Amino acid sequence: MMKQLAARAVASALLGWSASVGSVAAQESVITVTATVVADACSVATGSETQTVTLDDMSSQELNAAGITGGKKSFSLSLSCPAGTSAVTYTFGGTVDSVDTDSFKSTGTAQNVAVRLFRDDGSTLIEPNGNYRRTLTGAGESVTDSFKVAMYSTGQATSGTVASALNITMQYE
């Protein structure tokens, strides 16, 4: 009889332990997954990647006071964009002129001369680090966007060279 009681006590203890394992509190974890599907990059046409734009020469007498724009020249950026690309945003980076913050600094030898960037109409100014957004059809297309650059006097210009680097970053949607 003692053996049966001992066996029952062991069985009860085991069953009680099993029951307590089954009643352990459960915990849940939630993992939130986020992502962005981005448009494929457009390809920049050969000849658009690196360009040198030579402005028309101007005399220091023509640039004899602050606020004179001259020597405008056009340049174009040509892209081939895959289907699904609905827009391209150009950001024009470069060193801001210390006198005129709407202009890019010239690193040339002429004094009191900066460089300005315009949309193709020649009057809509694009400031340093400014953007231009082009909407696309999304069907896959080749596009060409034209811009103009010009000298801009910040005071009485002295003779010398004018040079500025504009770094263009393109983002696609």
- Taking only the tens place, the pLDDT of each residue in 146-156 is 999 999 999 99
Each residue's pLDDT tens digit, 31-61: 778 777 766 789 999 888 899 999 999 999 9
CATH of the domain spanning 43-172, picked from 2.60.40.1090, 2.60.40.1930, 3.40.50.300, 2.40.420.20: 2.60.40.1090
Q: What is the pLDDT of residue 11?
A: 43
Closest CA to 79 of 88, 70, 71: 88
Domain coordinates of the chain in residue numbers? Answer: 43-172
Q: Which residue has the higher pLDDT, 126 or 140?
A: 126
**What's the predicted TM-score (pTM) here?**
0.76
Share above pLDDT 90 across residues of the chain, in percent, rounded to a whole number: 71
d(CA 71, CA 55): 5
Note the pLDDT of residue 3: 40
